[in-house]
């Protein structure tokens, strides 16, 4: 069966889904999105993703909310219809189409809501096993990075530049020299003393659902996280680093701007954090992620 998507209340073959070129999502990037991981056929932290979706819509003064119960049901149904054991569900909401191109947002929104699901290995991946090489690049995004906007051009450019430079991904750096976050992830470093550091929440970064879940998982173990900004220099000299994101889960970073962290392999604390997070989402670590015990 063709991949099933859902558009404005209707299940449809993904390739046949169509929206108007007058949609404000297309013309102005006037929309927001969420990506929820699926593991063992179960949605990971869907409620937190929907909370953040609603917050993004409120911040953009959408004036209407999608029906939350319906969104939950569609998430589950797309997982079933597409036979997703491991992968993700994508959800996008735009302000809709009005037949013209007026910068001023119309009073009455006509939401376009689109969802699709895809199979993808999340845990046993080369990045999770071996780690990422990242390069730091100027953060040229807008000032409301707390809103999960579909306006992702700066991130797409940064990731493309990182690839052209022979790296796997980009960390973004504000004009004050402080790292904001990864191009599609939250950034973390670990000091030589084992202190785990990530930037505090503000309009400068996205409040990652995975970041939040890790605070819970580490907190339950009595493990402290320091919320503060760090410079590129500090990151390059850190003992370890990693990134978090819904589909990337916890991914080690082994190199920053060509400088190896530690011995250039995923660090001990990072492995511990991976193990904790995998366990939190219900993975049998020995089976799904044997590498976290390789040391």
Query: Which is it for strands 132-138 and 112-119: parallel, antiparallel or unpaired?
Result: unpaired
Distance CA 221, CA 295 (A): 20
* Beta carbons of 20 and 97 less than 8 angstroms apart: yes
Task: Decide: helix, strand or coil at residue 13.
Answer: strand
Residue 8 CB neighbours (<10 A): 13
Q: Does 204 help bind ligand PLP (rule: CB under 6 A)?
A: no
* Smallest separation (angstroms) from ligand PLP to the CB of 99: 31
Does 208 help bind ligand PLP (rule: CB under 6 A)?
yes
CB of 196 within 8 A of CB of 226? yes
Q: Is 148 marked active-site?
A: yes
> At closest approach, how far in Å is the CB of 246 from ligand PLP?
3
CA dist 235 and 227 (Å) reads 14
Tokens encoding 261: 């962290």
Give whichever of 52 and 95 is closer to ligand PLP, judged by the CB atom: 52
Residue 151 CA to residue 123 CA, distance in Å, equals: 28
Choice among 61, 119, 148, 192 that is catalytic: 148
CB of residue 244 to ligand PLP, shortest distance in Å: 6
Decide if residue 210 touches ligand PLP (CB under 6 A): yes
Within 13 A of 283's CA, how many CA atoms are on the CB side?
A: 26
Q: Does 246 bind ligand PLP (CB under 6 A)?
A: yes
Instruction: State in angstroms the smallest separation of the CB of 130 from ligand PLP.
Output: 21
Which span sits near ligand PLP by CB under 6 A: 95-103, 105-113, 184-192, 250-258? 184-192
| CB of 65 vs ligand PLP, minimal distance in Å | 19
Q: Residue 120 and residue 114: Cα distance in Å, rounded?
A: 19
Using rule CB under 6 A, residue 87 touches ligand PLP: no
Instruction: Tell me if 181 contacts ligand PLP by CB under 6 A.
Output: yes
Tell me: does residue 179 bind ligand PLP (CB under 6 A). Answer: no
Instruction: Quickly list DSSP for 164-179.
Output: HTT-SEEEEE-TTSBE
CB of 20 to ligand PLP, least distance (A): 26
Can you state the angle between helices 209-220 and 46-59, rounded to 10 degrees?
Answer: 130
The reply to whether 56 sits near ligand PLP by the rule CB under 6 A is: no
Which one among 186, 198, 229, 270 touches ligand PLP, defined by CB under 6 A? 186
Residue 185 interacting with ligand PLP (CB under 6 A):
yes
**Residue 131 engages ligand PLP in binding (rule: CB under 6 A):** no
- Candidate segments 18-26, 64-72, 112-120, 240-248, binder of ligand PLP by CB under 6 A: 240-248
What lies within 8 Å, CB to CB, of 267 at 6+ separation is: 190, 239, 240, 252, 261
Candidates 100-108, 230-238, 241-249, 262-270; binding stretch for ligand PLP (CB under 6 A): 241-249
Which of 216, 259, 223 lies closest to 241 in space, CA to CA? 259
Catalytic positions, written as ranges: 148
Q: Return residues touching ligand PLP (CB under 6 A).
A: 181, 184-186, 206, 208-211, 244-246
């Amino acid at each position: 069966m063709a991949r099933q998507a859902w558009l404005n209340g209707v299940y449809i073959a993904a390739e046949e889904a169509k929206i108007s070129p007058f949609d404000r999502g297309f013309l102005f990037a006037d929309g927001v999105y969420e990506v929820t991981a699926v593991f063992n056929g179960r949605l990971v932290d869907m409620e937190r993703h929907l909370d953040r979706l609603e917050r993004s819509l409120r911040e953009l003064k959408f004036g209407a909310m999608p029906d939350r119960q319906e969104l939950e049901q569609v998430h589950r149904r797309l997982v079933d219809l597409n036979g997703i054991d491991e992968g993700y569900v994508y959800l996008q909401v735009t302000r809709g189409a009005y037949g013209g191109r007026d910068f001023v947002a119309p009073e009455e929104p006509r939401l376009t809501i689109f969802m699709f699901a895809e199979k993808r290995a999340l845990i046993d991946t080369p990045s999770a096993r071996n780690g990422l090489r990242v390069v730091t690049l100027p953060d040229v995004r807008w000032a409301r990075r707390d809103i999960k906007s579909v306006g992702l051009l700066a991130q797409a450019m940064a990731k493309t530049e990182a690839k052209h430079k022979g790296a796997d991904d980009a960390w973004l750096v504000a004009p004050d020299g402080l790292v904001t976050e990864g191009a599609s992830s939250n950034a973390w470093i670990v000091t030589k003393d084992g202190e785990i550091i990530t930037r505090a929440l503000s309009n400068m970064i996205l409040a990652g659902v995975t970041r939040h879940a890790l605070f819970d998982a580490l907190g339950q173990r009595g493990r402290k996280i320091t919320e503060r900004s760090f410079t590129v220099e500090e990151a390059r000299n850190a003992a370890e680093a990693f990134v978090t994101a819904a589909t990337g889960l916890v991914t080690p970073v082994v190199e920053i701007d060509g400088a190896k962290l530690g011995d250039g392999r995923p660090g001990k604390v990072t492995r511990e954090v991976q193990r904790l997070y995998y366990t939190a989402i219900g993975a049998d670590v020995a089976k799904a992620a044997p590498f976290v015990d390789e040391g």
